[in-house]
Amino acid sequence: MLDCDVLVVGAGVLGLSSAYHIKRNDPKKRVLIIDRNGGPGQGNSAKSEGAFRNIFTSETNYLLADSTIDWFFHLQNNLGYDLKLAPIGYLWLYSEAHHSRLEYAFDTMRRRGVELRTFEKEDLKRMVPDLVTDFNGDEEAELLGLEDVDVGVLGVKCGSVDADALVRSYESEFLKLGGEIRYSTTATRLILKPEEELGIPGEPFVWQESRVAGAETSRGDILAGTSVVAAGVWSERLLDPIGFDAAMRPKKRQLFVFKDPRLKGLLDVKELNEYGALPLTILPRAGVYLKGELTEGSIWLGCADELGRSFGLEDDPQPEEDYYTDNIYHVLVKYFPCFKDVRPVNMWAGQYAINSFDGIPVVAPAPGMIYVGAASGSGIMKSDALGRIVAALHAGEEEAELYGGRLFRVADIGIADRNVERETFII
């Protein structure tokens, strides 16, 4: 009487990866993805900055990202998907004092085999001539609380990926295996049923073992053996009514795009990568980050606002131009005066699904259900590993084999038996 073995709610990158790996593990299973949008990744996946890094303080995040990055290169180099991978690096800029506080974290990463390059101020000046490193005597900079740039730390296995191409590669591989997708189909409610139905109105009762049995959707009920909830920030709309904690809160994040002759130096930096593009560069203050986007010869810029930026689900979050002009601009133009009077040519906003407890994603089961989410803004770069963990959990395996062969204990990233270190390198 089931409509499918596995129903995956959400054709974002986590839903697609989960569906693909479940289907790949067991091609006889009927796996169906539904999404309220008309195509893959049209929630927050495609709104992302499209960046990846293996630079995390927690071993868990490192494993998830590092193996997923390897998978990206496998998709592009061996399976022929043009993901526009550009390992331009991530470049953290620090004052001397700030950098020395983080030495232990960087040492831990190096011991894992993570490739980091450290640059002194003089190197940075040579490589990125547009960067201002010293604010000595600049009263405005002092007012802004700006720190000098003394050190740069470059993560090498880091860079850009085309998020849209990535979700389409998963979609394509999934469909090749015989997976099914229904777009423009909104899951409105998870269906709870007792494990053993008695046919009494009002079931499930509190004395019955109940389980998720599928979903009500805008195109009728879909009954499934297992329902995978991978709806990103929207997961709370499905999980709150059944009393399952999505373990995240949605928070808006904005991106601003610049294309201006005055910024051409940022697409012609030296020695940092083979592309000449500014790595994804994190300024010492105010959470501002920017990167050279090779696909369109532009600069993409965001800003991590923490205290003061509300939590709360929005269906269509809007960018705020004054967030750039009144907030980011004043800091940005001090470090990069080339932005003087340059205004964004494009901007958009999406939402992060922030896990405030430890900053690490969640893959957690309930009867008849698997929830994957709470990726805290770095879900794309962990997508392949998370999909494999979902598939392992679905298959009842204790360990998931990540791409490249490393093993990951599935329960570590759940809730009931969670065993992760809190991530401190959240951008």
Rule CB under 8 A: choose which of 101, 126, 340, 422 binds its own copies.
422
- Considering the rule CB under 8 A, would residue 251 count as an interface residue with its own copies? yes
Residue 406 engages its own copies in binding (rule: CB under 8 A): no
Q: How far is Cα 194 from Cα 354, in angstroms, rounded to an integer?
A: 32
Would you say 116 or 304 has its CB closer to its own copies? 304
Considering beta carbons, is residue 23 or 251 the nearer one to its own copies?
Answer: 251
409 binds its own copies (CB under 8 A): no
By CB under 8 A, which span of 7-15, 207-215, 338-346, 396-404 interacts with its own copies?
Answer: 207-215
Chain centroid offset of residue 150 CA: 29
Which residue shows structure tokens 């054709």? 11
Segment contacting its own copies by CB under 8 A, of 37-45, 61-69, 243-251, 259-267: 243-251
Per-residue mark of binding to its own copies, 359-398 (x: CB under 8 A): -------xx-------------------------------
Q: Which of 139, 274, 306, 341 binds its own copies (CB under 8 A)?
A: 306
Q: Which residues are CB-neighbours of 133 under 8 A, at least 6 positions away?
A: 121, 124, 125, 148, 149, 150
Contact string 317-346 vs its own copies (x = CB under 8 A)? -----xx--xxx-xx---------------
- Pick one of 245, 271, 315, 321: the residue that binds its own copies (CB under 8 A): 245
* Rounded Cα distance, 229 and 33, in Å: 10
Residues with Cβ < 8 Å from 336, sequence gap 6 or more? Answer: 130, 131, 132, 266, 290
Is residue 1 a contact point for its own copies (CB under 8 A)? no
Selected from 21, 47, 84, 249, the binder of its own copies by CB under 8 A is 249
Applying CB under 8 A, does 142 fall inside the site for its own copies?
Answer: no
User: What are residue 266's DSSP bridge partners?
Assistant: none
Q: Does 307 bind its own copies (CB under 8 A)?
A: yes
Considering only 287, 319, 365, 404, the residue that binds its own copies (CB under 8 A) is: 287
- H-run or E-run covering 11: none
CA distances from 351 to 78, 139, 289 (A): 32, 35, 17
Contact call for residue 145 and its own copies (CB under 8 A): yes
Which residue number, 157 or 251, has a Cβ lying nearer to its own copies? 251
Record the tokens describing residue 206, joined without a space: 């509190």
Considering only CA atoms, which of 410, 119, 415 is closest in space to residue 246?
A: 415
Q: How far is 391 from 372, CA to CA, in rounded Å?
A: 11
Asked if 206 is part of the footprint of its own copies (rule: CB under 8 A), the reply reads yes
Residue in 103, 240, 271, 321 binding its own copies, rule: CB under 8 A: 240
Of 88 and 247, nearer to its own copies (C-beta) is 247
Nearest distance from C-beta of residue 60 to its own copies, angstroms: 15
Q: Which is nearer to its own copies, 53 or 249 (CB)?
A: 249
Cite the DSSP H helix spans in 279-341: 321-322, 329-335
Q: Which residues contact 150 (CB under 8 A, 6 or more apart)?
A: 94, 95, 96, 99, 120, 121, 133
Nearer to its own copies, 159 or 368 (CB): 368
Count of alpha carbons within 13 angstroms of residue 374, beta-carbon side: 23
> Which residues, numbered 174-193, are part of the site for its own copies (CB under 8 A)?
192
Restricted to residues 267-286, the positions that interact with its own copies (CB under 8 A) are 285-286
- Cβ of residue 308: shortest distance to its own copies, in angstroms? 5
**Closest C-alpha to 280, from 121, 120, 151, 152:** 152
CA distances from 238 to 1, 166, 246, 274, 361 (A): 23, 26, 9, 45, 18
The answer to whether 234 contacts its own copies (rule: CB under 8 A) is no
Q: Give me the amino acid identity at 214.
A: G
Site membership for its own copies, residue 238 (CB under 8 A): no
259 close to 292: Cβ distance less than 8 angstroms: no
- Rule CB under 8 A: is residue 415 a binding residue for its own copies? yes
* Closer residue to its own copies in complex, CB, 19/332: 332
Q: How far apart, in Å, are the Cα atoms of 256 and each of 52, 83, 309, 379? A: 18, 22, 17, 20
State both tokens at 357. 């407890």
Q: Give exposure, 416-425, as e/b (b: 16+ Cβ within 10 Å).
A: eebebeebeb
Point out which residues bind its own copies (CB under 8 A).
143-146, 192, 198, 202, 204-210, 239-245, 247, 249, 251, 285-287, 303, 305-312, 322-323, 326-328, 330-331, 354, 356-357, 366-367, 415-418, 422
